[in-house]
């Protein structure tokens, strides 16, 4: 029986592509560099900031460090308004909270407290684990494992909801159930088109226990 539902943030609870791309472009502009390409914009969706800069600048540690420095000078505040909550977000979280403990595990870093605050997610989510709370970002399972330890829950009693291959890999490594939102990852065995379908998917995993 499930007792814990853990969410990724971007692409699951929010469509935040426009916000994240605008933010990273502001960082790159501060560095005097060109905006993100379409491919880098896609990768920015699921990588942590450090992972993105290291991937973009390869072995040039000086450039990666410059990017992190520029990022520390760009306030994410103006970009929260570009984040679009998933359809039915509050209704789904309200329904799930009646039966399950709720947590978040995301590769967001310094912006995580802002997301929790701006969208008042603390009404539903008891624990939010970001990249600065662990040693290893996803696809390493450490974030999910931290959630399991916090709630003293066995992996088989937990579910992770994500939208990327790194989410699926983290869930598999942690031994928890996984529900994919959207088209990726291709190998996901249980997939929903949007968050509003999650209660039905959870009921399927949790047997006859309806949400």
75-101 mean pLDDT: 96
How many helices (H) and strands (E) the chain has is answered by 9, 8
33-60 mean pLDDT: 87
Q: Is the pLDDT of residue 86 over 70?
A: yes
For the full predicted model, state whether its pTM sits above 0.75: yes
- Reported in sequence order, the residue ranges of the chain that DSSP labels E, i.e. its strands, are 4-7, 14-15, 84-85, 101-105, 127-129, 158-162, 177-181, 191-192
**pLDDT, tens digit, 9 for 90 and up, residues 165-192:** 999 999 999 999 999 999 877 778 899 9
Cα(52)–Cα(24) distance, integer angstroms: 10
Q: Is the pLDDT of residue 54 over 90?
A: no
DSSP 8-state assignment for residue 207? T
Cα(104)–Cα(92) distance, integer angstroms: 15
Q: Is the peptide bond before 139 cis (omega within 30 degrees of 0)?
A: yes
Q: What percent of the chain has pLDDT over 90?
A: 76
Biggest alpha carbon distance in the chain?
A: 57
User: Which two tokens mark 132?
Assistant: 């600065």
Q: Which CATH architecture has domain 4-15+84-205?
A: 3-Layer(aba) Sandwich (3.40)
> What pLDDT shows up at residue 34?
93
Q: How confident is the model at residue 210 (pLDDT cuts 50, 70, 90)?
A: low
User: Which two tokens mark 29?
Assistant: 């502009």
Residues in the chain: 211
> What pLDDT shows up at residue 49?
86
2-31 mean pLDDT: 95
Cα(41)–Cα(106) distance, integer angstroms: 17
The residues spanned by each domain of the chain are 4-15+84-205, 17-80
> What pLDDT shows up at residue 209?
56
């Amino acid at each position: 029986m499930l007792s814990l539902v853990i969410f990724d943030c971007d692409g699951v609870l929010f469509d935040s592509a426009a916000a994240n791309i605008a933010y990273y472009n502001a960082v790159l502009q501060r560095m005097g560099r060109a905006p993100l390409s379409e491919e880098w914009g896609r990768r920015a969706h699921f990588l942590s900031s450090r992972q993105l800069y290291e991937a973009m600048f390869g072995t040039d540690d000086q450039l990666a460090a410059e990017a992190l420095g520029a990022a520390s000078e760009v306030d994410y505040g103006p970009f929260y308004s570009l984040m679009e909550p998933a359809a039915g977000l509050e209704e789904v979280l309200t329904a799930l909270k009646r039966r399950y403990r709720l947590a978040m595990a995301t590769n967001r870093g310094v912006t995580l407290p802002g997301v929790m605050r701006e969208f008042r997610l603390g009404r539903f989510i008891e624990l939010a684990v970001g990249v600065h709370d662990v040693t290893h970002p996803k696809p390493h399972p450490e974030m999910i494992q931290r959630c399991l330890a916090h709630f003293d829950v066995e992996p088989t009693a937990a579910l992770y909801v994500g939208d990327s291959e790194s989410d699926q890999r983290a869930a598999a490594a942690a031994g928890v159930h996984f529900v994919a939102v959207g088209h990726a990852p291709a190998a996901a065995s249980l997939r929903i088109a949007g968050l509003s379908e999650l209660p039905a998917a959870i009921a399927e995993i949790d047997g006859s226990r309806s949400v």
